[in-house]
Amino acid sequence: MISRRQFVALSAAAPFGLRATPKRIPVGLELYSVRDEFAKDAPATLRSVARMGYEVVEFYASYFQWSTAYAMQIRKQLDDLGLRCTSTHNGEESFTTDGLKKAIDLNNVLGSRYIVMAGSAPISTLDGWRALGGRITGIVGTLTPLGMRSGFHNHENEWEMVEGKRPMDVLAAHTPAEFMLQLDVGTCMAARQDPVAWIRSNPGRIRSIHCKDWSRWRPWAPYRVLFGEGSTPWQQLFAAAESVGGVEDYLIEQEGSHYSQLETARRCLSNWKDMHRASPR
C-alpha cells in the first residue's frame, strides 16, 4: 500500500521515467552497389547481403524487366532471409501510363512502398522543373490509394542553378508533403551543397537516405571511398535525419573501391554501424 501523496509523486515522475525509446532505423543496401554480382547470381548475392547484417534492399532500375513470376521468387527469398524491400529505383519507363502499371504490380509483389524516380533527363528551364513536379504529383494521386508513394532521387545536376534557383527546391515546392525526397548524400556533396541544411529545410520528407560518401581530397576518384572515409558530416546528418527529416531507412550505396563489390558492401556496413552507434542523437 502507498499513501495518496506517494501515488501523486510517482504519477508526476512517470513521464520522466518512461521516456519513449528512440525509433531504430533499419540499414539497407542499394543493390546497384553489388550490381555485377547481382547480375551473375541474384539469389547468392541476396544471401551474402543478409549474412552481412543488412535488413533492407533497394532494387535498381533493371528490376523493371522482371516478370511477375520472377518477382514472386525474389520476394520469397527476401522473406526467407529476413530482408525487406521498401523502395525501388526507376527509370523513365516506369512513369509512362503502361510502365506505371507494371511498376505498381512489381512493387506490390516485392512489398515496396516507394516507387522512386532515379533522376530525370536534362531540364534547362524552371518551367520544365515545375512541369516535372506536376507530373510527379499526378503519380502520387494514383499510388496513394494503393498504400504506395512516389519519390525522387537527386543527382548532381538537380543542385545546379537554373534561372537563379536550384531544381531540387523547385521540385520540393511543387510536390505534396507525402512525396519522398530521397537524398543521395554523395552527389549532394559533389555539387558542393549542404545535405544537413537540405534535410532541415524539408522536415518529414527525407524518408530514405542513400549513404554514399564523397571525398574532396580525392578529386581523381571522389566516390571511391568507403562509407565514413570521405568528407560528409555523418554525425550531424544522422541527427538531422532522425530529429526532423523523417528518415525511415538508410541505404548504403557504393560506386566502387579497391575491394570487391561484396567486400566493399561489408566494410561500408561495418563503418556505418560504428559511426551511427556513436552519433549523439
218 closest CA partner among 257, 253, 185, 254: 257
The region of weakest confidence among 9-13, 103-107, 273-277 is: 9-13
User: What is the band of 6 on the pLDDT scale with cuts at 50, 70, 90?
Assistant: very low
Given a cut of 90, whether residue 218 has pLDDT beyond it is no
Helices vs. strands in the chain: H and E counts, helices first: 11, 8
Question: Above 60 in pLDDT, residue 233?
Answer: yes
Place of cell 530529429: 243
pTM over 0.85: yes
Which sign does the torsion angle of CA 14, 17, 23, 24 carry? negative
Question: pLDDT class for 18, splitting at 50, 70, 90?
Answer: very low
What per-residue string of b and e applies to 40-77 under the rule 16 or more CB within 10 Å gives b?
eebeebbebbbebebbbbbbbbebbebeeeebeebbee
- Percent of the chain past pLDDT 90, that is, above it, reads 84
Query: All 3 cell numbers of residue 217?
Result: 581530397
Please report the pLDDT score of residue 280 as a whole number: 65
Mean pLDDT computed over every residue of the chain: 91
For residue range 30-63, what is the model confidence (pLDDT) as tens digits? 999 999 999 999 999 999 999 999 999 999 999 9
What domains appear along the chain, each with residue ranges and CATH number? 25-278 (3.20.20.150)
Write the DSSP string, 50-80.
HHHT--EEEE-GGGGG--HHHHHHHHHHHHH
